[in-house]
Amino acid sequence: MYEFVGTYIKIYVRENEKCKALHNKPLNRVIADIAIELGISDLVEYKAMEGYIFDKKLHTSLKEIVEPSLPIIIEVFTTDELAQRFLERINPYLRNAAVLVFKEVRGLFCSGDT
């Protein structure tokens, strides 16, 4: 086990948000691809069962059959330097998204070798 200090980023997007600049690729996929390209190894993405982003209209998994618009939450934990590069790269594609950035976050990484 070792301690790591870095930047934690939490991004909220809608699952139906597309990136027009990249042939309507889903925004969450664009963000994940950029993280992979930069060598960020700690990214988690999950879809909420219920919630809303910006429209203040509650979306639930029971109602979102035809046009899904549930929130997707993307979490990244990496070095300050990589986080800055990541944020600069995703910034041009962010529309209808919320980004929270927490600096100097302490984390513990535990490997299976203990």
pLDDT digits (tens, 9 = 90+) for 9-60: 999 998 888 988 889 999 999 999 999 999 998 899 998 777 766 677 776 7
Domains of the chain and any CATH numbers = 2-109 (3.30.70.120)
pLDDT number for residue 53: 67
3-class secondary-structure state, position 74: strand
Using the predicted structure, report yes or no on whether residue 64 has a pLDDT greater than 90.
no
Q: What is the DSSP letter of 64?
A: -
The pLDDT, as a whole number, for residue 110 is 85
Q: Where are the alpha helices (DSSP H) in 39-99?
A: 80-90
Average pLDDT value for residue range 56-80: 76
